[in-house]
């Protein structure tokens, strides 16, 4: 027995690696974007031939880099590059990922697949590359759910809209960032959908809390609504959005646009709001609006523990 085997396990070893058979399962499902490892201070995600290493401390980053070669031995995967992304405590300290290992001449854009849906990522675009993989199951539900009209708020790069459009739905994607919506339109094109020529897909660059009442006044109704706001943001005229304080207001506005038997996704990355808290917000808003709903959650993903994913719950309206 060598001296290494007598040491205490590293922090990385205390986490959860996906099993080798899961790599083959993702390949068969047409998915090249998934989590590889989840630990207390770092996690690794695969995006095509690249790896994104997110870390809270430099020690966790260095441990991950040193242990990845041994963990990847025998896998049907060779990483071209490894990017690192520091996870700061304050939003204002966020920065785009940096290249840790690999060829710096390769393009920073990368097309990946999720259940055969194609998405373009850009490691130079900002803190997030363009796809939140912990929403995979919820996007799959949207695609198979028989949806006719989807409202995607805080749409970012429109991954939910693409999933719905591929199933034949009309979509409205709302985000304050025109740049993000333009990237979303590119994701439509990647999947053979051209929103510049096809009717039924709108991209609205505006404050969600301003847009929802306008849509309601026009009498628009949707049978699926995505509510996945940031923990904190600034909207029109410097309006501060804080998810803990403002999620009820957001959901009440969304219920005015919900068709009979609509489905509404409540989602957050706020550490102080768990699934039970989201359900409580939902029940309060249902009572105020005099509507009823069943609550539903998709099964836990095989590669991301529930505690390490966005907290999500669906409201299936009864009327």
Q: Is the separation of the CB atoms in 295 and 253 below 8 Å?
A: no
The predicted-structure confidence for 193-250, as pLDDT tens digits, reads as follows 999 888 899 999 999 999 999 999 999 999 999 999 998 888 777 778 899 999 999 9
Q: Which residue has the tokens 């609006």?
A: 289
The domains found in the chain, sorted by start residue, are 3-105 (3.30.750), 133-317 (3.40.50.150)
The mean predicted confidence, pLDDT, of the chain is: 93
Q: How far is it, in rounded angstroms, from Cα 152 to Cα 115? A: 20
- Contact at 8 Å (CB) between 285 and 295? no
Please state, in angstroms and rounded to a whole number, the distance separating the CA atoms of residues 259 and 318.
Answer: 10
Tens digit of each residue's pLDDT (9 = 90 or more) over 277-315: 999 999 999 999 999 999 999 999 999 999 999 999 999
Tokens 């095509």, located at residue: 48
Residue by residue, DSSP assigns 138-166 as: HHHHHHHTT-SEEEEET-TT-HHHHHHHH
Q: What is the pTM of this model?
A: 0.93
Angle at 305 between CA 300 and CA 308, to 5 degrees: 120
In sequence order, the 6+-apart residues with CB closer than 8 A to the CB of 167 are 142, 143, 144, 145, 146, 147
SS3 61: helix
- Read off the tokens for 12: 């990385």
Question: What pLDDT digit, counting tens, does each position of 70-103 carry?
Answer: 999 988 899 999 999 999 988 888 999 999 999 9
Residue 37 Cα to chain centre, angstroms: 17
């Amino acid at each position: 027995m060598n001296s290494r085997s007598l040491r205490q396990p590293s922090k990385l070893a205390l986490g959860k690696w996906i099993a080798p058979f899961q790599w083959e399962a993702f390949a068969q499902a047409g998915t090249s974007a998934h989590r590889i490892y989840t630990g207390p201070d770092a996690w690794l995600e695969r995006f095509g031939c690249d790896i994104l290493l997110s870390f809270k401390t430099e020690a966790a980053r260095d441990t991950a880099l040193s242990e990845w070669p041994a963990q990847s031995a025998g896998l049907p995967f060779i990483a071209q590059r490894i990017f690192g992304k520091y996870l700061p405590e304050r939003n204002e300290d966020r920065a785009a990922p940096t290249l840790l290992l690999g060829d710096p001449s390769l393009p920073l854009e990368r097309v990946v697949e999720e259940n055969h849906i194609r998405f373009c990522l850009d490691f130079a675009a900002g803190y997030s590359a363009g796809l939140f993989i912990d929403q995979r199951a919820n996007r799959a539900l949207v695609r198979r759910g028989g949806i006719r009209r989807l409202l995607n708020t805080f749409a970012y790069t429109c991954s939910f809209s693409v999933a719905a459009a591929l199933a034949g739905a009309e979509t409205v994607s709302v985000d304050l960032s025109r740049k993000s919506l333009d990237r979303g339109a590119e994701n439509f094109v990647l999947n053979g959908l051209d929103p510049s020529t096809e009717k039924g897909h709108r991209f609205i660059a505006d404050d969600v809390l301003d847009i929802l009442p306008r849509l309601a006044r026009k009498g628009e109704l949707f049978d699926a609504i995505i509510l996945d706001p940031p923990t904190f943001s600034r909207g029109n005229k410097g309006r501060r959005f804080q998810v803990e304080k403002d999620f009820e207001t957001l959901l009440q506005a969304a219920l005015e646009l919900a068709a009979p038997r609509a489905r509404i996704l409540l989602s957050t990355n706020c550490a102080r709001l768990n699934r039970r808290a989201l359900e409580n917000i939902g029940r309060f808003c249902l009572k105020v609006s005099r509507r009823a709903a069943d609550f539903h959650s998709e099964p836990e993903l095989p590669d991301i523990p529930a505690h390490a994913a966005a907290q999500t719950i669906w409201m299936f309206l009864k009327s």
